[in-house]
C-alpha cells in the first residue's frame, strides 16, 4: 500500500509533543493489528482492526471509561465498562454488519489465549469490546464479508510498532468529511506530578460533511468543494484513547468525554446519523481479575485536580489522528452509488492554505516539502 506523508510530515503545525511513533502504540505493551479485505470484483472493501492493551497472555483487565456523544452505532461490552470501570481482552473495530462475526472471533481468540482464566470451577466469560462504523458507500456491506477468522487474523497480526493509517483494517471502507479516510492515530507526552505519561489515540474516522471540515481552526472544507458525495451525514467515528497514567474508572469516563471536543475541533457537530462513541483505557496498575483479588485492594490514582493536561493531550491527539486518517486516503471507487469516486484530500492545497496563512501573518516559518 502506498504511504503518503502524515499530517506533521506535510508540515501542518499540530501542537504538543508526540511519542516516538506518534501512535497509540507509544503506550508500552499495547499492540495494534489489522486484517484488510479488498476485492474490487466483489465490491469488497472492509476489514477488522484489533487493539490489545496488554502484552501478557494471562487475564489481566484494564481500567476503562466510556462515553457516547451520539448513539447511532455500536460498541459492545460497554455496559459493564460503565458499571465496573474495567474490561478484559481486546478492542475490535469493524463495519456495522461485522460486529457479530468479530465478537465471535475475538471470543474464540480469548478462549484460546486466556485458557487458565476459563478453566476450573469458577464461572468466567469473554466480553470483548467490538465497535463499528458504516462502510456501505465503498463496500457491499450487506454481503457480510467479515468473518470470525478475520478478527483472529487481525489479533494475530498485531504489533507494537508504527501503525498503518487510512485504508487498513476496519478503516478500509471509511470516509471522513467526504474524503477517503479510515484509520488514524497520534500520541502525546505529558509531564505531570513529576512523571512523564503517554496519551495515545486511535480513530476509525467515517464522519462529517465537507463544509464542516476544519484543520487547526482553518475552515478548509469550504474551499475544497469538488467531488462531494453526500447531502446528509451517513457515517460515524470510533475513538479509542489509551494512557499509562493511573486513572480511576471515573477519571477515564471523564477522559472519554473529551473525545467529543477532539472530534469537534475537526468541525463535526455530531450529526444525528453519526455514531460518535468513545472508550478510554489505562494500562497502569496491572492487577488480576477482581474475582482473584483480595478483599481489600490498594490502588494508586492520579489526583483528578491535576488531570487537565491529560484532557488537553487527548483532545490534541484525537484532532491529529483524524487528519492523519484523511491525509492517508487514496482515490476509491464507490459501490453505492456505483461508479463514483471518493477522492483523497488534495494535500498540496491543504499545505498551501497554511502556507498562505503564514505569508499573510508575516511569518517566515516554512511549511510543507
Residue with the bigger pLDDT between 6 and 295: it is 6
> Quick one: pLDDT band at residue 58, thresholds 50, 70, 90?
confident
State mean pLDDT over 81-108: 97
215-236 pLDDT per residue, tens: 999 999 999 999 999 989 889 9
Identify the pLDDT of residue 43.
98
State mean pLDDT over 240-259: 97
State mean pLDDT over 248-260: 97
> Quick one: pLDDT band at residue 361, thresholds 50, 70, 90?
low
Is 363 annotated as catalytic? no
Residue 49 is given by DSSP the state E
State mean pLDDT over 178-196: 96
Is 187 annotated as catalytic? no
Identify the pLDDT of residue 369.
33
Identify the pLDDT of residue 360.
60
Residue 368 has pLDDT above 60, yes or no: no
- How is residue 160 written as a grid cell? 507494537
Identify the pLDDT of residue 115.
86
> Quick one: pLDDT band at residue 362, thresholds 50, 70, 90?
low
Domain boundaries, the chain: 24-288+300-352
> Quick one: pLDDT band at residue 365, thresholds 50, 70, 90?
very low
State mean pLDDT over 81-105: 97
Buried/exposed 104-132: b ≥16 CB within 10 Å, e otherwise: bbbbbbbeebbeebeeeeeebebbbbbbb
Q: Are 318 and 260 in contact (CB under 8 A)?
A: no
- Topology of domain 24-288+300-352, CATH: 3.60.70
Q: Are 123 and 291 in contact (CB under 8 A)?
A: no
Q: What's the whole-number average pLDDT of the chain?
A: 93
Integer Cα distance of 130 and 90 in angstroms: 8
pTM: 0.95
State mean pLDDT over 288-315: 89
State mean pLDDT over 314-328: 98
Integer Cα distance of 110 and 265 in angstroms: 36
Is 276 annotated as catalytic? yes
State mean pLDDT over 45-71: 94
The one catalytic residue among 26, 236, 244, 282: 236
Residue 363 has pLDDT above 60, yes or no: no
User: CB-based burial of residue 342 (10 Å sphere; 0-12 exposed, 13-18 middle, 19+ buried)?
Assistant: buried
73-89 pLDDT per residue, tens: 999 999 999 999 999 99
Residue 357 has pLDDT above 80, yes or no: no
The one catalytic residue among 187, 214, 274, 282: 274
The one catalytic residue among 135, 140, 244, 276: 276
Residue 2 has pLDDT above 50, yes or no: no
Q: What percent of the chain has pLDDT over 70?
A: 95
- Bridge partners, residue 279, by sequence: 66, 240
Integer Cα distance of 233 and 208 in angstroms: 6
Identify the pLDDT of residue 123.
79
Where is average pLDDT lowest: 30-44, 162-176, 344-358? 344-358
Q: What percent of the chain has pLDDT over 90?
A: 83
State mean pLDDT over 20-29: 98
Looking only at the bridges linking them, the beta strands covering 91-95 and 129-133 are parallel
Amino acid at each position: 500500500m502506498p504511504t503518503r506523508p502524515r499530517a506533521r510530515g506535510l508540515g501542518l503545525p499540530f501542537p504538543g509533543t508526540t511519542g516516538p511513533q506518534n501512535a497509540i502504540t507509544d503506550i508500552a505493551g499495547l499492540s495494534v493489528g489489522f486484517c484488510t479485505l479488498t476485492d474490487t470484483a466483489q465490491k469488497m472493501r472492509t476489514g477488522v482492526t484489533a487493539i490489545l492493551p496488554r502484552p501478557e497472555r494471562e487475564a489481566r483487565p484494564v481500567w476503562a471509561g466510556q462515553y457516547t456523544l451520539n448513539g447511532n452505532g455500536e460498541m459492545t461490552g460497554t455496559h459493564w465498562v460503565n458499571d465496573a470501570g474495567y474490561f478484559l481482552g481486546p478492542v475490535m473495530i469493524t463495519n456495522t454488519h461485522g460486529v457479530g462475526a468479530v465478537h465471535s472471533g475475538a471470543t474464540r481468540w480469548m478462549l484460546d489465549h486466556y485458557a487458565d482464566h476459563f478453566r476450573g470451577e469458577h464461572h468466567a466469560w469473554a466480553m470483548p469490546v467490538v465497535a463499528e462504523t458504516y462502510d456501505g458507500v465503498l463496500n457491499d456491506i450487506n454481503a457480510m464479508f467479515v468473518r470470525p477468522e478475520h478478527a483472529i487474523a487481525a489479533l494475530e497480526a498485531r504489533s507494537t510498532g508504527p501503525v498503518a493509517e487510512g485504508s487498513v483494517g476496519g478503516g478500509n471502507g471509511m470516509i471522513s468529511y467526504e474524503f477517503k479516510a479510515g484509520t488514524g492515530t497520534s500520541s502525546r507526552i505529558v509531564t505531570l506530578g513529576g512523571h512523564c505519561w503517554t496519551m495515545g489515540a486511535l480513530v476509525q474516522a467515517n464522519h462529517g460533511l465537507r463544509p464542516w471540515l476544519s484543520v487547526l481552526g482553518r475552515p478548509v472544507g469550504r474551499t475544497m468543494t469538488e467531488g462531494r458525495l453526500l447531502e446528509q451525514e451517513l457515517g460515524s467515528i470510533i475513538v479509542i484513547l489509551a494512557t499509562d497514567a493511573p486513572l480511576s474508572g471515573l477519571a477515564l469516563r471523564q477522559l472519554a468525554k473529551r473525545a467529543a471536543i477532539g472530534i469537534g475541533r475537526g468541525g463535526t457537530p455530531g450529526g444525528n446519523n453519526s455514531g460518535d462513541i468513545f472508550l478510554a483505557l489505562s494500562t497502569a496498575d496491572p492487577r488480576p481479575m477482581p474475582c482473584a483479588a483480595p478483599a481489600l485492594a490498594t490502588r494508586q490514582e492520579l489526583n483528578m485536580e491535576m488531570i487537565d493536561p491529560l484532557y488537553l493531550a487527548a483532545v490534541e491527539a484525537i484532532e491529529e489522528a483524524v487528519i492523519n486518517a484523511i491525509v492517508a486516503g487514496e482515490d476509491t471507487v464507490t459501490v453505492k452509488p456505483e461508479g463514483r469516486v471518493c477522492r483523497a484530500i488534495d494535500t498540496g492545497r491543504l499545505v498551501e492554505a497554511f502556507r498562505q496563512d503564514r505569508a499573510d501573518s508575516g511569518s517566515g516559518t516554512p511549511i510543507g516539502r
